Amino acid sequence: MKNPPAKPSQLITKEFARQLNVNYNNKRNSLTAKKAEKEDANAIWYSLEELENYIHYIKTNGTKQGYNVDGIRFYFGVYPDDEKHGEKAGLTTLFLVPTGKKAEKNTEKIQSFALKQEATSTDIQDLDPMNYGNIGRPPSLLY
């Protein structure tokens, strides 16, 4: 049997997660209460298969395009309020964007260490973001 994975350092308590969820619900509801005709999503769900496929996609295609993919940034968004988006129109969404750095070429490694600054990880615009997870159907899910 392989060694079990290390416990992630970013774990939070269930109580703190619940507090974050309540804070989000209260803040979002106060911002949209006057114009909301339907209850907004407060949770987005992606299957493990969808996430694993996306990770494979961004790693593979990122390498092909000269990137070292190092993460995924999660952005909140709101669907346009039009017929094209049907029941999701005007509701919150969460989309994923790969992050990373352009891979260094061997010739760049010759530069003086003092003159070289490590490039920060940025959104990779050459790879498509992922969206369309399943939203928490009203009544809103509570953590």
Mean pLDDT value of segment 73-101? 86
For the chain, the first-to-last Cα distance in angstroms comes to 34
Report the chain's C-alpha Rg in angstroms: 20
Band of pLDDT at residue 99, cut at 50, 70 and 90 = very high
Q: Is the pLDDT of residue 114 over 50?
A: no
Band of pLDDT at residue 117, cut at 50, 70 and 90 = very low
Residue with tokens 């346009």: 80
**pLDDT given for residue 67 in this prediction:** 94
> What's the DSSP call for residue 130?
B
32 CB-contact burial (10 Å; exposed 0-12 / middle 13-18 / buried 19+): middle
Q: Which two tokens stand for residue 79?
A: 């669907």
Q: Is the pLDDT of residue 33 over 80?
A: no
Band of pLDDT at residue 113, cut at 50, 70 and 90 = very low
The predicted model scores a pTM of 0.71
The Cα 121–Cα 52 span in angstroms is 21
Whether omega for the bond prior to residue 98 falls within 30 degrees of 0, making it cis, is no
Mean pLDDT value of segment 41-70? 91
The beta strand positions in the chain, using DSSP E, are 44-45, 67-78, 92-102, 122-123, 134-135
**pLDDT given for residue 43 in this prediction:** 82
The Cα 78–Cα 90 span in angstroms is 6
Q: Which two tokens stand for residue 104?
A: 């260094």
Band of pLDDT at residue 97, cut at 50, 70 and 90 = very high
Highest mean pLDDT pick, 11-25, 50-64, 124-138? 50-64
Taking only the tens place, the pLDDT of each residue in 8-25 is 777 778 887 888 888 887
Cβ partners under 8 Å of residue 25, min gap 6: 42, 140, 142
Which amino acid type is present at position 117?
Q
